[in-house]
Structure 1
Amino acid sequence: MGQSATRIEGRAKTTGRVSYVHNMSVPGMLEARVVRSLVAHATITGIDVEAARAVPGVHAVITGEDIRKVLPHPYFGPAFHDQPVLALDKVRFIGEPVVAVLARDARTAEEAAALVDVSYEELPAVFDAVEACAPDAPLVHDELRPGGTFADLKHLSGRRATNVALEYRLRRGDVDAAFAALPHVFTHTFTTPAIAHAPLEPVVAIGRVADDGGLIIDSATQNPSIVRLEVARLFELPEAMVQIRTTFLGGGFGAKLYPKLEPLVAACAVITGRPVRLALSMEETFLTITRHASTIRVTSGVDADGVIRARKVEAWWNGGAYADIGPRVTQKSGLTAAGPYDIDNVWIDSRAVYTNLPPAGAMRGFGVPQVAWAYERHTDLMARELGMDPVDFRRRNLLRRGGVHHTGTVLQDTANEEVLEELARAMEWDRPLDPGSGPVRRGRGVGIAMKAVVTPSTSGAVVRLNADGSASVMCPTVDVGQGSATVMAQLTAEALGLPDGRVRVSHADTDTTPYDTGTLGSRSTFHVGNAVVAAARAVRARLLEAAAQMLDVPVDDLDIHAGEVLVRGGGPRVSFRDVMVSRLGIQAGHITEASEFTPDYDPPNLDTGQSERAAAFWMSGAAGADVEVDTETGRVTVNRLVIVGDAGRALNPELVRTQLTGGAVMQFGMTMSEELRYDEGQSTSPGLGFYKVPGILDVPPMEAVIVEVPQRDGPYGAKGVGETGTFAVSPAIANAIQDATGADLTALPLTAERVLSAIRAAGGSS
């Protein structure tokens, strides 16, 4: 542990030998293409598929009514059962799947899809989350039907006459009384746009009917176990009859969580009796899932000593036409929406809202980058008004280890203080900065944020010691590029006492790997890692028992090192293989152990959000930016970006650094250029030609700083860092721009036009 081991799949990836689901082909496979809605909200009045069916090579043209024949209740979703496999009766956003065309090849399917004619009777639509909460707003759904996938959402019940899917509430102290008694009260409103995940491998799935009548689905999914659960429910099959398989993913970032294409390809396979593949284009992936646009209003009361005594946060999350996991994003980001500060009086309302836009769901950060953008810009604006240094203001108000979070949970292993101090050191904050002269001005800014890992959740693992002394790990984590296979191999080797290269980690397959909530929310190292370590230690114990019999010594006299069992005090040493051979007399058999890990969780009070154990662990991350701004054009150059993250213990420091910088690069793009734009529900940024992801030459010089405050119940003290680098990038850059120019920025992205407008509004150069 603590060594930067080489990624076990690195050579295969860099030489192009890794197989992705997107590259798979199955004999007899049909290619599917989807006909999508051209209107934002409408009743379907007719579907003419005859011309498409007549195209040579077309095998079937499938509508929602065809789906209903094999699925009596064809609605899915992890939080609400609200999304039809294909549109039924209505469409709710531009781009919603209405018809599936299946053909011998993709080109034929695409040509035929263009011939399908769908007629509509348009209905009023709503696109803004705040407007959708108004009593007279058009209703996206006549009735809300919650699902039962997650324990922390089971309190939801069916509702009518509302677009609010979930409202998370947190109440601590008396905010209104505190505001009335305080000398300084500040209110600011911030917005973020919808964002595309843009994984290089678009969303893809292949469905087929198994010989025994079950379903086999190869999918680029981040949580096969949950997908199996939903597909089995839809088709009224035992879970054992549904197999979800995956391999390395070409990126995910949340776009490939929960059912996406799997219900459709499975239904098409059942209808046709043939394997069916559906691989989306990048433009279609943009229409399938997005990151929530948000509107967040923050009000804070500060006393005469610069201490924040009260904070009220109101957040509206634009969930689009279908809930996906949006209610959980609303809930989990809501509980940290007051920031990493020690505040006596807190009021939070966080709402998941339906609109007639593409669905929004999980994305790296799970809502925290949006709320951190708001509360960290708010923090700098307050510090500026109060005449206080931004870092000192944060130091004065920071929530430290051992303090009580706004949820009522005591923070035992957080590193807010260490993270902030490391950021100040790396930024040389105490050294004066030359602001420059002339039109180009220079400034610097910081931000700090914290996130609760998604809780409750469960992970399992199986570890097998083979007869030759090597080990196999049946691990449910999906490697989406984060290096989880390498870390799980390291954990297994450490727990078993094996040298490098003697552990193999399998890909997630619901027939062979245990249950896992999903590769999401920076949870895998902690949850699956704990399960892997427990299973490996159980294998180790059985191995030592066998060695004790072989050597005729007590188990307590034995130890393990580098693949050998040794007797303490200079006694004999035997290899793992020799011990395994001693059990059966030949090199055969294996020792297998399974473990399942579920951390403690105290469900929050639904009225107050209070909980003694709101999360299994907490992540702390900070960012600092040094920028130059051309006040005549609004162009921003980030000269340096510093990312600081708490890893608990860095099991593989190089992987931790690349996770921190990888997350920061993503958030940098969302800060400076990325934005999904819509005109009355119609996307005006369809695909990478219009949606501006930063290229390698756009990425600023970057430094990652690892903070290690061991997580006492983590595997060897570790916790996840997959999202930590995203948290504070946006406010740090905006705070630096304001430091340089006085520009008051409240909306992302920070385009040159937006920055120039803010400079002019602040009375700066034109």
Structure 2
Amino acid sequence: MADGRKQEFAVVGKSVPRVDGPPKVTGTPIYTVDMERPGMLHAAILRSTVPHGRIRRVDKSRAEQAEGVVLVVTGEDLKTMPGIDPYFGPAFRDQAILAIDKVRYIGDPIAAVVATRRELAYEALDLIDVEYEELPPVLDPVEAARPGSPLVHEQLRPAKAFADLAEIEPGKATNVCYHFKLRRGDVEQGFAQSAHVFEDWYYSPPAQHMMMEPHAALAWVDSDGVLTVITGSQSPSYVKGSLGAIFGLPQNKVRVMVPLVGGAYGGKLYDKLEPLASLLTFMARRPVKIQLTREEVFITITKHGVVSHVRTGVSQDGKILARKVEVYWDTGAYADIAPRVVHKSGYTSAGAYRVPNIWIDSYCVYTNKPPAGAFRGFGVPQVVWALESQMDMIAEKLGRDPLQFRLENVLLEGDLFATGTPVHSAGLKESLEAVAREIKWEPGVRKAVKPGTKSGVARAKGVACGIKAVITPSISGAIVVMNNDASVNVLTSTVEMGQGSDTALSQIAAEELGVRLQDVRVMHPDTAVTPYDTITAGSRSTYHMGNAIRLAAQEVKRQLFETASDRLEVDPDQLVARDGRIFVAEAPTRGLPIPEVFQARFGARGATLQGQAVFKTYAAPMDHETGQSEKVTEYWFPGATAAEVEVDLETGKVRVVKLVEACDVGRAINPHHCEQQIIGSALISLGQTLFEQMILENGELLNPTLLDYKVLTLKDVPESAVPIVIEVPHKDGPFGAKGVGETGTLSVSAAIGNAVYRATGVRVKELPITPEKVLRGLRAGQ
């Protein structure tokens, strides 16, 4: 569905202001945390204080007598509730609404208090007594994967919610809930033929999403018996189906609405608070709202901590001959969507290069720690950190320039990826060359430490690249309604959470219909009226929902042309829609304003025209033993990073002076917003490269607040942060567009790590790159 006539676009390709900008800067939008209902109650959650244990007793009697308390519910109560399946989860139904018989991490929900005021609900939590039989916890994913380790879950029930996870089977007596395998070529022969073999371990810690708006949900049952939930979820269609399954309701008795969302980054995907809020509203018979504190957000969902072992063989002339990768994903106490993360990042562990012989094992491992799930980049940044750090180590050993070494091996148009899938519309080479030009890359191998701009400061540049696949298969539906004044309502279940989807989708609809941008309004998700959409995540919305909107708009336009062709006495295929008019392409003065077309079709009172469409992508079946597939993804996200750093040789502190990020976006629907997305995603990775990490001791989070968890501030942003939009239009994208929201996360950590090494000779293999680690390396070198 691409269209290469960029110069003819009226709205697409233009850096128009965000349609949600004015209301946001004036403070008028209402978020879930702002929502209230008449008679609304508030809920608070009692959480486990031990990482692993059996629940012997929960005494809620004192809490039930506390001021303002309406209801206290425990997992024991769930056992006797008829018609309820109390377990949920997108990969495995492994998480109870409230813990039943056993707790699996410090923070596991045990009981909920419902009260007339939020503070009263939290105060009553202290009145609940819990007695545990503590069990030995398992806290290291590599140890947890070994036979004989204490089991986090004794049995597992696959959710069977998604086609790409259909192969998941009931779990056996192991903490490895999913194992992805990729096999291509003869890896041992490849190593035997290699002149050099490199073998290293790399580590990435868990980290926080740091969305501004905490998790919140408000549930009630309306007069028709419809369960209604307002939530900040990224996946309203999924949540609707999940709540129906939990409570035994037909889907027309479940309604999920999502207003504007104050950030998510993967942390609000699938079920979070919605099952508990729904349970409590059924029991209390009044609206119930749950809103987490920041400390609770920290232990609700995290980015995966990852341990990676990478072994790579290369020829003397610099060709990569073999690669063997072993990755352990710490998914915490519950799987959430981790098997998909492990699957997709598993095959991406081959890297962005031509490698004929590959062996990958990617393990999803339960531990007694907070659950991990989707995070911007969907696991790829963790493996790119390992792969691209080692690429520089290989280049140095061979006496090669790191950039040139990459360019000689990088995947090009038509090459086969490790899965056997051809690579198309993936501007990896272009992205690498673009960041190199902008950073003024100096070819050559690393030399001795050179002084920087200040005494005792070393300065150097680093480069890295990565590639990610979009979720495939997936489905997006859209309804486009044109009113008789040429204004347009677009009904989708895409969630606007700050990424700019309302603007991009409005531009696509306006371009296709030939109306002004201000005449288009994208409605926010309400599953009672908005069509199904898989999720808003993975940078899929512009492509998938954009195509659905374009198809639906074409149906509206077909009806307009059908009527206008009679009035203008030409065939419909001779007509064009532009500037709110339908006119003859070869005679632009022969035309009609759209309201007149409505009048001709319906009469003076007018009506509406409606088009609807479903856009679905397909993947070729994957061999589960080899990971091979002719089409594993609808399209690729390629990107590259260059970084220039200064390192204080006395303190070890790293300062990023310049950060350059290039991403292939297909066609930029809104170039300025693409630039904002690229830099925004790069800065998220910058924070996690230099200082962000969740510090756990014996399963307990030691830095659960913004006082202790260091996040990026304006003082940490580089003096120069440069986004580069690479446009390689995708043949099937709406006007050639792909996605862009995650690509900037992929290779930032590795580029900075490589720059630090080139400046100091210190190779850090465990994120974040803290002053302590650099200083230890400097002292060891001395």
Q: 1:319 aligns with which of 331, 336, 341?
A: 331
Q: Percent identity?
A: 45
| Map of 1:483 onto structure 2 | 500
SS in 1 for 2:13: coil
Report Cα offsets for 1:298-320 as digits up to 9, x if no partner.
10000011111100110000000
1:77 aligns with 2:89: yes
- Counterpart Cα distance in 1 of 2:234 and 2:350: 30
The residue that corresponds to 1:360 in the other structure is 372
* 1:372 corresponding residue in structure 2: 384
1:327 Cα deviation after fit: 0.4
Q: Does 1:459 align with 2:507?
A: no
Matching residue of 1:276: 288
Alignment of 1:222-233 (within 5 A): 222-233=234-245
Equivalent residue for 2:269?
257
Aligned partner letter, 2:116 = R
Matched-pair contact (CA < 8 Å) for 1:198–1:282: no
- The separation in 2 between residues aligned to 1:59 and 1:103, in whole angstroms, is 5
Query: Which residue is equivalent to 1:522?
Result: 539
Counterpart-to-counterpart distance in 2, 1:504 and 1:34:
38
**Structure 2 counterpart of 1:117, which letter?**
D
Shift of 1:57: 0.8
Q: 2: CA distance between counterparts of 1:192 and 1:529?
A: 34
The answer as to whether partners of 2:179 and 2:361 remain within 8 angstroms in 1 is: yes
> What does 1:539-558 align with in structure 2 at a 5 Å threshold?
539-558=556-575
Distance 1:182 1:281 in 2: 54
How far off its partner does 1:159 sit? 2.2
Conserved in 1, the CA contact under 8 Å of 2:415 and 2:422? yes
1:682 is matched with 700
Structure 1 runs of 4+ with >6 Å offset:
431-434
3-state SS of paired residue (1:160):
coil
1:35 corresponds, among 46, 65, 80, to: 46
Alignment partner for residue 2 of structure 1, among 5, 13, 37?
Answer: 13
Q: Which amino acid is 1:649 matched to? A: R
Matches of 2:50 and 2:234, distance apart in 1: 31
| Stretches of structure 1 lacking an aligned partner (at least 5 in a row) | none
Does 1:435 find its partner at 2:450? Answer: yes
Q: Are 2:76 and 2:101, in contact at CA under 8 Å, matched by a contact in 1? A: no
- Match among 546, 553, 563 for residue 580 of structure 2: 563
User: In structure 2, do the counterparts of structure 1 residues 32 and 71 end up closer, same or farther at CA, with 3 Å as the change threshold?
Assistant: farther
User: Residues 205 and 693 of structure 2 are in contact (CA less than 8 Å); yes or no, is this contact kept in structure 1?
Assistant: yes
Mapping of 1:441-452 within 5 angstroms? 441-452=458-469
Quote the residue 2:687 is aligned against: 669
* Structure 1 segment 591-630 matched on structure 2, within 5 A: 591-630=609-648
TM-score by length of 2: 0.96
Partners of 1:471 and 1:504 within 8 A in 2: yes
Pairing partner for 1:573 from 568, 591, 596: 591
CA distance in 2, matches of 1:679, 1:637: 29
Distance change in 2, residues 1:70/1:589 (3 Å) = farther
Measured against aligned partners, the alpha-carbon deviations of 1:126-181 in whole angstroms (never above 9, x if no partner) come to 01100001111100000121111011111111122100011000000000111122
Counterpart contact for 1:67–1:267, Cα < 8 Å: no
Q: Root-mean-square deviation (CA), in Å? A: 1.2
Instruction: Determine helix, strand or coil for the equivalent of 2:495.
Output: coil
Which string of whole-angstrom CA distances, capped at 9 and with x for unpartnered residues, describes residues 228-272 of structure 1? Answer: 111101111111110000111000001100000000000001111
Q: Given the alignment of the two structures, is residue 692 of structure 1 paired with residue 710 of structure 2, yes or no?
A: yes
1:400 and 2:412 correspond: yes
Q: Secondary structure at the match of 2:587?
A: coil
Q: 70, 73, 81: which one pairs with 1:62?
A: 73
- Counterpart CA distance in 2 for 1:535 and 1:760 is 64
Q: 2:652 aligns with which of 634, 644, 649?
A: 634
Alpha-carbon distance in 2 for matches of 1:447, 1:698: 21
Letter in 1 for 2:46: V
SS at match of 1:207: strand
The equivalent of 2:529 in structure 1 is 512
Supply the distance in 1 between the matched residues of 2:308 and 2:575 (Cα, whole angstroms).
59
| 1:447 counterpart SS class | strand
Q: Which moved more, 1:548-557 or 1:740-749?
A: 548-557
Q: Tell me the secondary structure at the aligned position of residue 725 of structure 1.
A: helix
Q: Is the 8 A contact 2:46 2:112 kept in 1?
A: yes
Residues 624/88 of structure 1: CA separation in 2 closer, same or farther (3 Å cut) = same
Shift of 1:489: 0.4
Partner of 1:175: 187
Distance in 1 between the 2:162 and 2:619 partners?
13
Judge conservation of contact 1:462–1:474 (CA < 8 Å) in 2: yes
| 8 Å contact from structure 1 (residues 323, 359) kept in 2 | yes
Structure 1 window deviating more from structure 2 (60-69 vs 416-425): it is 60-69
Q: Residue 316 of structure 2 contacts residue 398 of structure 2 at CA under 8 Å; is this kept in 1?
A: no
CA distance in 2, matches of 1:86, 1:255: 20
1:474 — aligned with what?
491
In the alignment, what sits opposite 2:733?
714
Rounded Cα–Cα distance in structure 2 between residues aligned with 1:253 and 1:640: 24
- In 1, the alpha carbon distance for the partners of 2:386 and 2:223 equals 54
Give 1:553 shift: 3.5
| Cα distance in structure 2, aligned partners of 1:758 and 1:244 | 52
**1:220: how far off?**
0.5
Q: Given residue 548 of structure 2, which amino acid in structure 1 is its aligned partner?
A: A
Displacement, 1:72?
A: 3.5
Aligned residue in 2 for 1:97: 109
Contact 1:152 1:603 in 2 (8 A): no
Letter in 2 for 1:735: N
What CA deviation, in whole Å up to 9, does each residue of 1:31-62 have, x standing for no partner?
Answer: 00000000000000111111111112110111
- Asked whether the 8 Å contact 1:225–1:517 carries over to 2, the reply is yes
Asked if the contact 2:403/2:443 (under 8 Å) is kept, the reply is no
Aligned twin of 1:387? 399
**Counterpart for residue 643 of structure 1:** 661
Distance 2:406 2:638 in 1: 14
Partner of 2:769: 750
1:435 is matched by which residue type in structure 2? Answer: K
TM-score with structure 1 length normalisation? 0.98
SS at match of 1:289: coil
Moved more, 605-614 or 555-564: 555-564
| CA deviation map 1:69-122 (0-9, x unaligned) | 155420000000000000000000000110000000111111111111111000
Aligned length: 763
**Greater Cα shift, 594-603 or 23-32:** 594-603
Secondary structure (helix, strand or coil) at the match of 1:270 reads helix
5 Å matches for 1:82-231? 82-231=94-243
Code of the aligned partner of 2:778: I
